[in-house]
């Protein structure tokens, strides 16, 4: 059996470890299960490496490595009321600059019990970036609507997500034809992944199909910010 076909099943170790970590989220347990963590992270890292290679056939992944994409499992608890020391998921930003990149990219989060998902878009735009996207919508709203109404986009994502203002943003007419888009303060899409899908032989092909459907959306936002 080839590497791609065996890869999804190897994620079982990742899911099992994260599930147990959720119930034992403290340093003594983590230290006692360090070898399990190493195996779980290695499985996820191998899968991210596979995705980088596949995404590289339709988007620029030059110089991108899995190690640069994957977030640390340690939580920053300095300003959080939740003092559990570890995240109960593995996350990776796949794109130029990895998790520290500032451009548009593809995101995958692995978390057991149906909490895994793929995502993309703009989560926390600066006021300047939000203004750039809105100006792009005013100039080329039809192009954005075409992307959001594409068959593959609707199949995998349904609709545009993210917070939105209840009224028109300052400087825009309430009756603007694209006011529903202009009211957005986030521009996000997501696609849920069940545990069964994560362990299925067609996982790689499925994830790549989702990311391909996401690419026009990402490219539109990238062009707006440039």
Query: What pLDDT, in 10s, does the model give residues 116-144?
Result: 999 999 988 999 999 999 999 999 999 99
Predicted confidence (pLDDT) per residue in 178-187, tens digit: 999 999 999 9
- pLDDT at site 4: 44
> Which run of H or of E encompasses 78?
none
d(CA 75, CA 84): 8
The DSSP output letter for 184 is B
Which strands form 106-110's sheet, in the order they lie side by side?
A: 90-94, 106-110, 116-122, 187-193
The whole-number average pLDDT for the span 143-172 is 97
Q: Where are the domains of the chain?
A: 3-225
Q: Of 30 and 102, which is predicted with more confidence?
A: 30
Predicted confidence (pLDDT) per residue in 71-128, tens digit: 999 999 888 898 999 999 999 999 999 998 877 789 999 999 999 999 999 988 999 9
- pLDDT at site 33: 98
**Which residue's structure tokens are 């994830």?**
207
CATH architecture under which domain 3-225 falls: 2-Layer Sandwich (3.30)
Hey, how many other C-beta atoms are within 10 angstroms of the C-beta on 101?
Answer: 15
Q: Which of 39, 57, 43 is nearest to 8 (CA)?
A: 43
Is the confidence at residue 1, as pLDDT, over 60?
Answer: no
> How many residues make up the chain in this entry?
226
| Alpha-carbon torsion angle 92, 111, 83, 71, nearest 10 | -10
**pLDDT level of residue 37 (50, 70, 90 thresholds):** very high
């Amino acid at each position: 059996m080839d590497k791609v076909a065996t890869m999804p099943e190897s994620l079982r170790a990742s899911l099992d470890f994260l599930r147990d970590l959720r119930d034992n989220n403290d340093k003594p347990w983590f230290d006692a299960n360090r070898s399990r963590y190493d195996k779980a992270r290695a499985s996820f890292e191998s899968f991210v490496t596979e995705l980088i290679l596949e995404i590289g056939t339709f988007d620029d992944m030059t110089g991108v490595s899995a190690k640069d994409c994957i977030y640390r499992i340690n939580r920053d608890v300095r300003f959080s009321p939740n003092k559990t020391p570890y995240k109960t998921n593995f996350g990776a930003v796949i794109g130029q600059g990895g998790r520290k990149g500032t451009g548009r990219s593809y995101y995958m989060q692995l978390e057991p019990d149906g909490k895994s998902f793929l995502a993309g878009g703009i989560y926390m735009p600066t006021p300047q970036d939000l203004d750039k996207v809105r100006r792009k919508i005013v100039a080329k709203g039809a192009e954005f609507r075409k992307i959001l109404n594409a068959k593959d986009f609707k199949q995998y994502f349904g609709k545009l997500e993210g917070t939105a203002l209840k009224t028109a943003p300052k400087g825009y007419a309430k009756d603007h034809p694209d006011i529903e888009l202009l009211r957005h303060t986030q521009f996000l899409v997501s696609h849920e992944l069940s545990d069964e899908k994560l362990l299925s032989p067609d996982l790689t092909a499925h994830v790549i199909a989702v990311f391909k459907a996401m690419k026009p959306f990402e490219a539109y936002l990238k062009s707006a910010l440039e």
